[in-house]
A and B are shown apart, each in its own frame.
Chain A
């Protein structure tokens, strides 16, 4: 696996933040494992095999004005263990975009990424990941984020590729008045499986979390969303929201939604909503009643479903990129579908 990073500059106008390998970033050793503490077997594999973890360290009060882009390329038939650690000091802000791509085709690569985001008091960290690995790849991803008092953690994971794509995002707000927004989008086609797991972990008073996961499954693909809201003792007056919407585009496709609550404090607000089903009939009728043919109406509605969450993404600079990736795959998924419909 190769890492390429764009946005790191050197020279007289070098950025007032550090980005690079452990040798290049002072204090990198403290960052590794500081967020992702209790590693399961996969995290330990990553710990052991990540050849060159990448570190981004933004000092207190520094606002990085353009997003950093990290691209991981999976070599054919390889196993790789990408590791990225981001730390934003008190009052600092940074946006990071991570892309996982590979050779595509029948390439059976295994990618086990671990990403750690640490936001100190009042820091703002925005993160987007885009997984567009080839159709035979396996991706087992882990995102771990922690934020202190008054932090703003915003994450958006987008899973489009891989035969089996798992994304587990654990976000812990451990300082009072800290907030996080956890977004995830996934699109499955063929025999793909998307396995999305989230944890909204409240560990301080008046913390807020807002989660929105939206996905669509076509062909005979599957998705499983399981999300846990945990409000620990002491996290009084916390506010946690969890929403999961699934569009099932073909009869052979299947989506499961499994919300869970683990509330150990009394004075809290929690809500969760989830839907699994085909395209809404009223939406379809409304669009078609304007003279739009059914397959076009369907495309509009499903695109809109994804555009709505992409537009909320925390790194606006990549909105167009995400839309393009999603639309392209969506067009394919919907086109396959017509062929099936026409053939049956």
Chain B
């Protein structure tokens, strides 16, 4: 519970990730960051390896999304101290697109509407398929497969990015992108929020499967233990006021659901 770094105890490390799968590791050390000029993160340490599932829970405003953006490199989220490395390569200072190329993926808490831009064009531009802007059949098939895996009507893949999608549909579209891009490590910012019960199960199962399929390492931000019924968490971290104040196994998530965060808040 007091293991602040969360290293070494991951149970999923490397297991089930098939022979030949390259091991990746995202290491966060002493990360401090501000958003909109306000100091939000006060020293975060985390290590996420291929095949591991880490969960971050914490009250609203505790800095979970800020951490996600600091990792991905959102302009305006400024890292003031510490480091973020992917396979030993420093990401702080790199633009978001290079971090993505290094193997990082972020499913946004609020996916952005981009009128007129189709999912296939985005993924083609991201280097999947021929990069020519039109969807080659192979990319189309992969998008369709990923959509089916999370119960998303493939027709919705033709819509411009997140335009006129419901909250749950937009989250599932993030999952389609994840499945097609196959990042080494993904950060999921409340990908489960807004999903109906069936979709929640589908998404959790797809993620669990992905940890084995290509050994993705997962850092999942969530408010709900029910997300972890079909997604096996190796470690659960509790974030309060920009710090990880406790780390434990899956039982911690269940406990938090019952007791809330009262015991973890700074009494001041």
The smallest beta-carbon distance between A80 and chain B, in angstroms, is 34
> Which of A264-296 touch B at CB < 8 Å?
280-283, 285-294, 296
CB-CB < 8 A to A290: which residues of B? 97, 100, 105, 122-123, 125-126, 177, 181
With a CB–CB cut-off of 8 A, which chain B residues contact A300? Answer: 114, 117, 121-122, 125
Q: Are A307 and B116 in contact (CB under 8 A)?
A: yes
Residues of B within 8 A of A308 (CB): 115-116, 160
Decide if A301 is an interface residue (CB 8 Å cutoff): yes
Taking the closest CB of chain B, its distance from the CB of A326, in whole angstroms, is 11
B57-78 CB mask vs A (1 if < 8 Å, else 0) is 0000000000000001111100
Q: Report whether B125 and A311 are in contact in the complex, using a CB–CB cutoff of 8 Å.
A: no
Report Cα–Cα, A286/B105, bound state, in Å.
11
Q: Does B216 contact A (CB under 8 A)?
A: no
User: Quick one: CB contact mask for B161-175 with A, threshold 8 Å, 1 for yes?
Assistant: 100000000000000
> Please, which residues of chain A bring their CB within 8 A of the CB of B101?
291
For A281, give the chain B residue with the smallest CB separation.
B75
* Interface: B106 (CB within 8 A): yes
**Given A281-B75, A291-B126, A303-B117, A297 contacting B111 (CB threshold 8 A):** no
- In B181-213, the 8 Å CB interface with A consists of 181
How many angstroms from the CA of A16 to the CA of B113 in the assembled complex?
Answer: 46
Give the total of B residues in contact with A, Cβ under 8 Å. Answer: 31
B96 close to A (CB within 8 Å)? yes
Chain B interface (Cβ within 8 Å of chain A)? 72-76, 95-97, 99-101, 105-106, 108, 111-117, 121-123, 125-127, 160-161, 177, 181
Interface residue SS majority, chain A: helix
Query: Which residues from A are CB-within-8-Å of B181?
Result: 290-291
Residues 143-154 of chain A, each 1 if its beta carbon lies under 8 Å from chain B, else 0? 000000000000
Closest partner residue, chain B, to A305 (CB atom): B116
- 15 new A-B contacts at CB < 8 Å, known A288-B97, A291-B127, A308-B116: A280-B112, A281-B75, A282-B112, A286-B114, A286-B161, A288-B96, A289-B100, A289-B105, A289-B108, A297-B125, A300-B114, A301-B117, A303-B117, A304-B115, A304-B121
Q: List the B side residues contacting A304 at CB < 8 Å.
A: 114-117, 121, 160
Closest to B117 in A: A304
Task: Fill in one digit per residue for A297-315: 1 if any B CB lies within 8 Å of its CB, else 0.
Answer: 1001101111111010000
A-B contact pairs, 23 of them (CB 8 A): A281-B75, A281-B76, A286-B111, A289-B74, A289-B96, A289-B97, A289-B108, A290-B97, A290-B177, A291-B126, A291-B127, A292-B97, A292-B100, A292-B125, A296-B125, A297-B97, A300-B114, A303-B116, A305-B115, A305-B116, A307-B117, A308-B115, A308-B116
Collect the chain A residues with CB atoms within 8 Å of residue B105's CB: 289-290
Shortest 7 CB-CB distances between A and B: which pairs?
A304-B116, A308-B116, A291-B100, A304-B117, A307-B116, A286-B112, A308-B115
Q: From residue A246, how far is it (CB to closest CB) to chain B in Å?
A: 14
The smallest C-beta distance from B258 to any residue of chain A, in angstroms, reads 35
Nearest-neighbor residue (CB-CB) of B108 within chain A: A286
CB distance from B214 to the nearest CB of A (A): 16
A297 — which chain B residues lie within 8 A by C-beta? 97, 125
Instruction: Give the docked Cα–Cα distance between A287 and B73 (Å).
Output: 13
A293 proximity list for chain B (CB < 8 A) = 97
Q: Which residue of B is nearest A299, CB measured?
A: B125
Shortest Cβ distance from residue A81 to the other chain B in the assembled complex, whole angstroms? 36
